[in-house]
Amino acid sequence: MFLRLLAIAFIWGATSVAWLFLGSTIQYRTAQSDSALKSKVESTWGGAQQQTPPWAAFTVQEEREREEVADGKKVLRRVTVEVQKRIEPESSRLWVDVGLHPRQKGLLWYSTYGYSFRGVYRLRNERSTALPVRVALPFPSEHGVYDDVRLLVNGKPQTVRQQGQHAEADAEIPAGGSIEVEAGFRAQGLDSWRYSFGKGVGQVKDFQLVMTTNFAAIDFPENTLSPTARTRQGSGWRLEWTYRNMVSGSPIALTMPERLQPGPLAGEISYFAPVSLLFFFFVILLLTTLRGIPLHPMNYFFLAASFFAFHLLLAYLADQVSIHAAFAICSIVSVFLVTSYLHIVTGAKFALREAAGAQIVYLILFSYAFFFRGYTGLAITIGAILTLFVAMQATARVDWARQFASAAPPGPQPNAR
């Protein structure tokens, strides 16, 4: 009996090593896939988007002192220089509509999205004379694609020019007056969207941003501003940030939800597989001992290989079909391998009832627990405790000294009364 247990333990250990190599292979394939494919996704969809407010730039002439050298002496001379200055918005009304459209590439899903942006800003001229300005709208990403770009001043469309990473148009702000600038475009991005008020800590007056989403799993990164109001709207949310006079260095940001990642999930399941096989071997060994069913260590070897086939097939099927379909196919294949084999070795009753039931619980259900983030450990712990309870109740009256002393696989012991 001891040598038999030792052989089964060796089979379990060798299979566990194979699972470690398989999990490492999946992680390597996932990392290689991500480094190669993410740049392609960004080139098509654009990267993370970070929007900043528009501004009005104008040029003024100012007299400044400049140090010069004359006759070997340093002298200060007053010169006239041109200085670029900006007018920041005194009020902002923004609308952003975000639609999530994730894309799968290889073993990973990428959180790609499309959105429309519209902002209405008021820019004021504090000077006593009319001020010709150049209104500039920054684009949120250097590699993005922006459609329907528009700049309106006091409701009138302007001729838009592209200059580097922003669009600009000419306008004039009357003396002591203001203009209303409306800016907008449609674009797409990856992973996150941000609205930054500028570098460092700054003051923001009369600000409102309304964002709508077509998804419910919203998340806000650390060191960003939470919405001041949120309302469920259809399948998503209506989020609102409203500030009268705020001083902050934190941006507004939304992180797109991630879909279940096939590569990392398959890797986690593979790393956990030795625990599943350990429980399965324990139950099969217990049942065959109590029922006097002779299972040779070579039989356990083929059972371990059937378990390994589940994870091996999942590793290379997950990037071809959806992870749920791949999981279902792998489950059917593995259960078929075990039951069809044990049907010949032990008979149909044990194969289809005890062995198939144990495999469904310890391979399929334990592995499927990884689909539920945050509940995996609890589900497996409950399963382990229930297994321990059933095993203790079933073997409470077994004479283990007699069982281990027996050279042949013994049958069940009669209950003492």
**DSSP string computed for 91-128:** EEEEEEEEEE--EEETTEEE-EEEEEEEEEEEEE--SS
Q: What is the DSSP code (8-state) at residue 371?
A: G
Domains: count for the chain: 2
Q: Do 223 and 277 belong to one domain? A: no
Same domain, yes or no: 197 and 314: no
pLDDT at position 411 is 46
User: What pLDDT, on the 0 to 100 scale, is given for residue 404?
Assistant: 66
Q: Which residues of 207-229 are buried (b: 16+ CB within 10 A; e: fewer)?
A: bbbbbbbbbeebeeeeebbebee
What is the pLDDT, as a whole number, of residue 170?
A: 87
Say if residue 245 is exposed, middle or buried (CB neighbours under 10 Å; 0-12, 13-18, 19+).
exposed
Per the CB < 8 A criterion, the answer to whether 175 and 127 are in contact is: yes
In a domain, residue 413? The reply is no
Residue 123, beta-bridge partner list: 179
Residue 417, pLDDT score: 36
Question: Does a structural domain hold residue 213?
Answer: yes
DSSP for 374-389, written as a single string: TTHHHHHHHHHHHHHH
**In a shared domain, residues 299 and 224:** no
Query: Among the three residues 196, 226, 255, which one is the final residue of a domain in this structure?
Result: 255
Position 294 in a domain:
yes
Question: In terms of domains, do 178 and 269 share one?
Answer: no
Residues 48 and 41: their CA atoms lie apart, in Å, by 11
Asked whether residue 278 is assigned to any structural domain, the reply reads yes
Beta bridge partners of 70: 73
- How confident is the chain (417 residues) per 10-residue block, as mean pLDDT? 86 94 89 76 82 85 72 72 82 93 85 92 88 88 82 86 82 89 91 86 88 92 90 92 88 90 90 93 88 89 95 90 92 95 92 92 92 85 88 81 60 43
Domain C-terminal end among 239, 255, 271? 255
In a domain, 266, yes or no: yes
Locus of tokens 């469920």: 232
Closest CA relative to residue 152, chosen from 160, 162, 144:
160
The residue from 200, 234, 255 where one domain ends is: 255
Report CA-CA distances (Å) from 220 to 237, 256, 276. Answer: 13, 9, 36
Flag whether 74 is in a domain: no
Residues 249 and 221 in one domain: yes
- Euclidean distance between CA atoms 186 and 98, whole angstroms: 10
274 & 390 share domain: yes
Domain span at 378: 2-36+260-405
b/e map of 87-106 (b: 16 or more CB within 10 Å)? bbbebbbbebbbebeeebbb
User: Coil, strand or helix: which one is 397?
Assistant: coil
What is the per-residue pLDDT for 228? 92
Amino acid 333: pLDDT: 95
pLDDT of residue 410: 46
Inter-residue contact 42 to 143 (CB < 8 Å): yes
